[in-house]
Structure 1
């Protein structure tokens, strides 16, 4: 009888140690365990050492770290009927392990599919120029929409970044021609603004000189001084316009008849 008791006691000890070893779980700092007791949700445990009763309790591990998800390239037709391929990267993490396991079958796949459809829907409402020039605004719009829809799953979308927008060759050439025309337009506007400012400055200077006739003479002398300082064989002598008008009037005036005394 004694050997049988020893065998039974040893078997019980081994069974107890096996059950104890099978019930111990170690969760890292970034992990949580969603515990179900007899199929019903009980509590969220972790991190550290936890005990799960075999056969009665089950545990599902949930990672709380930020997940980087590459959104596959999507065919998007913009509001101005331009077909492009757009890919993006999505950053999200689980903030509520209970809802992430209970409310959705696979939160990773669900978030991926939602990101793809949201990317097409949001970019399809904008023109091509807005996609290329306002990426930060589009990133924020997509992030807010995803965050609002994944909140029921216990998932927080922290950031969305549009990585690349692929265009066909014809559209690239059209954009290049548009950019060149835009630069030419700006150059013409700047040149016209310069001419306008120069004309306004000349008008102000002419009005100032007209108030003091002697100022014009001083300006003539200053111009002669500048010309004399340059080593050049060409000398320009400014002549007052009034003198030129007087000489022209004398030349074109017919000779008057001789006086009787000279006859």
Structure 2
């Protein structure tokens, strides 16, 4: 009797172990790629999944968005400037069967592809474009990665260049270039102001030339402005014609 009971207990234990190995529970964001005797037989999940032990195998795949940090890459720009660039990649699995069957390790494959694509795309642009056109570069890298990883069942949702590191000498050169650009703009603005002022003076001279009395009024207005400050000394220039007229008045009549 004890031997038979032990045998029943052993059989019950193996039956429970077999049943436990046949049950799988998948969360809402998980899928299971099923293989029966080595052949692909479909994608299961989410929920409770039953499988035949030792006959069927299942690979668990996560469908959530994965954040991949692309390591810093040494890039030589189109204008021969050496920079270090790192980025972050957002992607997710859309076809679980392809991510398991078509590529051995989709995480490692995507990481290596992102590094080579980052160097290739940025090497075609100048340093100014890297610093000022990041949105365009992000879109270009995303489109290339998305098209190449489509065969692996992966959708690249976003690529962001985090930081562009340049040498200290290049930083000083960029600062000098920015300063020279500001000086150039200041000179242009000053020249444009002088041009506009000269044009307005010509127009004013033409108007005053048509009305000689306006010159006298302008002259009196200038004197009034100077007289408001008592610390100034007023010098009144006398026209040559007025001096001649006064001299004529002083001469005795014959």
Q: TM-score range by the shorter chain?
A: 0.7 to 0.9
Determine the structure 2 residue equivalent to 1:64. 63
Give how far 1:220 is off.
Answer: 2.2
User: Which range is displaced more, 72-81 or 220-229?
Assistant: 220-229
Secondary structure class of the residue paired with 2:186: helix
Q: 2-side partners of 1:97 and 1:203: how far apart?
A: 79
Determine the structure 2 residue equivalent to 1:259. none
Q: 2-side partners of 1:28 and 1:154: how far apart?
A: 20
Give how far 1:17 is off.
Answer: 2.5
Determine the structure 1 residue equivalent to 2:76. 77
Secondary structure class of the residue paired with 2:52: coil
Give how far 1:238 is off.
Answer: 6.7
Asked if 1:200 is matched to 2:205, the reply is no
1:77-136 superposed Cα distances (whole Å, 9 cap, x missing partner): 111111111111111111111111111111100100000100111011111111111111
| Contact 2:208/2:215 (<8 A) preserved | yes
Q: Which runs of 5+ in 2 are unaligned?
A: 246-253
Determine the structure 2 residue equivalent to 1:15. 14
| Contact 1:30/1:64 (<8 A) preserved | yes
Give how far 1:206 is off.
Answer: 1.8
Secondary structure class of the residue paired with 1:86: strand
Determine the structure 2 residue equivalent to 1:165. 164
Q: 1-side partners of 2:10 and 2:159: how far apart?
A: 58
Determine the structure 1 residue equivalent to 2:136. 137
User: CA, structure 1 residues 173+52, in 2 after alignment: closer, same or farther (shift >3 Å)?
Assistant: same
Q: How does 1:89-238 map to 2 (within 5 A)?
A: 89-235=88-234, 237=236
Secondary structure class of the residue paired with 1:79: coil
Q: 1-side partners of 2:178 and 2:134: how far apart?
A: 19
| Contact 1:100/1:107 (<8 A) preserved | yes
Q: 1-side partners of 2:208 and 2:153: how far apart?
A: 79
Q: Which runs of 5+ in 1 are unaligned?
A: 252-261
Q: 1-side partners of 2:50 and 2:203: how far apart?
A: 92
1:220-262 superposed Cα distances (whole Å, 9 cap, x missing partner): 23323333334434235476xxx44x358x59xxxxxxxxxx7
Asked if 1:44 is matched to 2:43, the reply is yes
Q: 1-side partners of 2:108 and 2:35: how far apart?
A: 23
Q: 2-side partners of 1:152 and 1:238: how far apart?
A: 92
1:20-78 superposed Cα distances (whole Å, 9 cap, x missing partner): 21111111111111111111111111112111211111111111111111111111111
Q: 2-side partners of 1:57 and 1:236: how far apart?
A: 112
Give how far 1:153 is off.
Answer: 0.7
